[in-house]
Structure 1
Amino acid sequence: MDIQQLKYFVEVAKQKNFTKASQILLVSQPSISKMIKSLEDELMITLLDRSERKIKLTDAGVIVYEQALKILQSVEDVYASVNELVQVKKGTVKLGLMPTTGVLLFPNVLAGFKREYPQIDIQMVEYNAKQLKLKVEQGDIDLGITVLPVNSQLFETIPLLSEELVVLVDSEHWLIERETVGLSDLKNESFILLTEDYALHDVVKQACMQSGFEPTVAYKSSLWDLIGEMVATKLGISLIPRSMVSRFNNQNVHAISISYPFIEWELVLIYKKNKYLPFATREFIEYIQLNKL
């Protein structure tokens, strides 16, 4: 058994397809097939179910896949540790952001870090909160800026920002003259929520349930601007972080504080526990701790 066998096997398992794996690895499909077959022969067991169009892991394949991920991560950590000695104050930070947090971070924190560490590259990619946690867990990115809750057994967390959720209503809504409202007073309203892919969807639904009602969901969207427009056209109300109110340059919407319960939107920096962090990533963590949002 060698590293190359495990690397090919893991990529095929991830892609569930030999062709896609060969394109990513830049290796011919027959070479990958041969390598995985030799691994199966060595272990004397079938790892991949090739009977369907999409390749599936066998029970044994699941076990080997989980162990292979750990082995490959350990090998990557060895290379990273050695590279750190050579590339002092150089490197790359792979950072995942939610679409809303880029505005909060840039230009202050990110620009300041870049001035202090001009030779460190920051690769930023956008995901919704749930995807972002998965990407950090799988090791595709080093760090993620997301919202609570997160799995404390999987991730280390650094608090960045905490703010309240507010009710967004149209300019002729019955709440327009109110400064605050209790969440339970909204039980007969139609809600416009982010889709289930977003953590805020679960936060809002859970808060409503704890206030004694299940929200009537009129629409779901993954686009903040569309949510604002739907509220403005009287299709329903929405619960959003206060910092997002300024995003809606539409005078037909208005934000109202929730008197009870106080619902927090907590932004945190996460990274995987027990994972080697390269120099550049550790420096970014230290910098962001000293320069909170």
Structure 2
Amino acid sequence: MELQQMRYFLAVAETGNITAAAKLLHMAQPPLSRQIKQIENDLQVQLFDRSGRRLRLTEAGLILVQRVREILSLADRSMQEVRSSEQGSEGSLSLGTVASASSVLLPKLIAAFKDQYPKTQFQLWIGETSRITELLEKGIIEVGVVRPPFDDEYFESCSLPEEKLVVAYDAERFPQLQGKAMLTVREMASAPLLIHRKYEMMLKRILRRHGCKGDFFCRCDDIIPTLAWAGAGLGLAVVPDSAMGLAQKQHLQCSFIDDPEMTTGSALIWARKHYRSGMATNFIRFFTEALSKK
């Protein structure tokens, strides 16, 4: 597939309609239809289910749309790097982040960075640490905000201050906890727990120290479904305190735990040996200086 064909495919995938995609691309409908059919013939797979009024991606189409987005993002960033000055005073920065940091830490930092570099644009990718490190390795993004562990031989990093872990829950489902800003470990252990897998060993250690076992109802790799399950009253979601804003949007109550070990860390990371644009270099410098002032 050529880059232009990828743009054709992505437009159809995102609109679900040949006519709408053709309008978006400023081209006639028949040649766009031929291009999509040619792509399917070349790949020898069906990319769209055409049985309904709206075109829907097949399983093969869903796989391809993710890869096409990555390739086009990398292509666009490559062109911007070639065109931009080494000073990095303008251009686009591709940045990845875990969900909790995207809603609390980054907006304030980006606003301050934008004041200093007003011609900056951002490509933002949200995902778990494994997804962000994958995008960094592929060169799709230049910098990422992740939670340990990560390969510190492959990535350079700047550590952020530790955060406390909190539990988020539906107060109507767990009325015995309602209104409590601080819970004991035993109170936390009295309800089903919804946790990120990376916290499991730490939580088991804390629970043992307090003579508790704990009911690990769900282990997950993503904070968003963890909070969604908590919103459904299925248990207490253990999340960083930077995710309290996300939890409160789902009308969940949040409480801290009275154990000093209930903490987690995060870091800004970038690939040691990859080319780094002037914009990325400036962002890393700005980020580290902002942390040192704190």
- Same fold by TM-score greater than 0.5: yes
SS in 1 for 2:160: strand
Quick one: structure 1 residues 204 and 282, their matched pair in 2 at CA, closer, same or farther if it must change by over 3 Å? Answer: same
Quick one: structure 1 residues 224 and 85, their matched pair in 2 at CA, closer, same or farther if it must change by over 3 Å? Answer: same
Render the CA deviation track for 1:36-90: whole Å, top value 9, x for unaligned.
Answer: xxxxxxxxxxxxxxxxx9xxxxxxxxxxxxxxxxxxx9xx99x95x756577523
Quick one: structure 1 residues 181 and 88, their matched pair in 2 at CA, closer, same or farther if it must change by over 3 Å? Answer: closer
Aligned to 1:124: 124
Mapped to 2, the partners of 1:251 and 1:85 lie a distance apart of: 44
SS in 1 for 2:153: coil
Aligned to 1:204: 199
The answer to whether the aligner puts 1:148 opposite 2:143 as a matched pair is no
Aligned to 1:99: 99
Aligned to 1:291: 290
C-alpha displacement of 1:241: 1.7
Q: Which amino acid aligns with 1:205?
A: E
Mapped to 1, the partners of 2:249 and 2:120 lie a distance apart of: 39
Aligned to 1:112: 112
> What are the within-5 Å matches in structure 2 for residues 97-246 of structure 1?
97-105=97-105, 107-171=107-171, 172-176=174-178, 180-181=182-183, 183=185, 186-187=188-189, 189-193=191-195, 201-211=196-206, 212=208, 213=213, 215-218=215-218, 222-223=224-225, 225-230=227-232, 233=233, 235-246=234-245
Quick one: structure 1 residues 116 and 261, their matched pair in 2 at CA, closer, same or farther if it must change by over 3 Å? Answer: closer
Q: Which runs of 5+ in 1 are unaligned?
A: 1-18, 34-52, 54-72, 194-200
Q: Which amino acid aligns with 1:122?
A: F
Render the CA deviation track for 1:82-129: whole Å, top value 9, x for unaligned.
Answer: 756577523321111223322224542212212211233222122222
Question: What is the TM-score when the length of structure 1 is the normalising length?
Answer: 0.60
Mapped to 2, the partners of 1:281 and 1:218 lie a distance apart of: 37
Q: Which amino acid aligns with 2:231?
A: E
Q: Is contact 1:181–1:260 with CA below 8 Å preserved after alignment?
A: no
Matched positions, count: 221
C-alpha displacement of 1:284: 0.8
Q: Which amino acid aligns with 1:272?
A: A
C-alpha displacement of 1:289: 1.6
Q: Which amino acid aligns with 2:277?
A: P
Mapped to 2, the partners of 1:103 and 1:111 lie a distance apart of: 13
Mapped to 1, the partners of 2:198 and 2:219 lie a distance apart of: 16
C-alpha displacement of 1:239: 1.1
Mapped to 1, the partners of 2:242 and 2:288 lie a distance apart of: 21
Q: Is contact 2:170–2:231 with CA below 8 Å preserved after alignment?
A: no
Q: Which amino acid aligns with 1:203?
A: K
SS in 2 for 1:260: coil
Q: Is contact 1:169–1:176 with CA below 8 Å preserved after alignment?
A: no
Quick one: structure 1 residues 107 and 135, their matched pair in 2 at CA, closer, same or farther if it must change by over 3 Å? Answer: closer
Q: Which amino acid aligns with 1:278?
A: S
Moved more, 82-91 or 279-288: 82-91
Q: What is the Cα-based RMSD across aligned positions, in Å?
A: 4.0
Quick one: structure 1 residues 174 and 84, their matched pair in 2 at CA, closer, same or farther if it must change by over 3 Å? Answer: same
Mapped to 2, the partners of 1:215 and 1:139 lie a distance apart of: 40
C-alpha displacement of 1:25: 9.6
C-alpha displacement of 1:210: 2.4
Moved more, 101-110 or 267-276: 101-110
Q: Which amino acid aligns with 2:264?
A: W
Render the CA deviation track for 1:160-201: whole Å, top value 9, x for unaligned.
Answer: 3421002234434444576645546644531223xxxxxxx1
Mapped to 2, the partners of 1:283 and 1:218 lie a distance apart of: 40
Q: Is contact 1:98–1:146 with CA below 8 Å preserved after alignment?
A: yes
Q: Which runs of 5+ in 2 are unaligned?
A: 9-34, 44-59, 61-73
Mapped to 1, the partners of 2:250 and 2:155 lie a distance apart of: 40
SS in 2 for 1:123: strand
Q: Is contact 2:144–2:268 with CA below 8 Å preserved after alignment?
A: yes
Percent identical: 19
C-alpha displacement of 1:218: 5.0
Q: Which amino acid aligns with 1:121?
A: Q
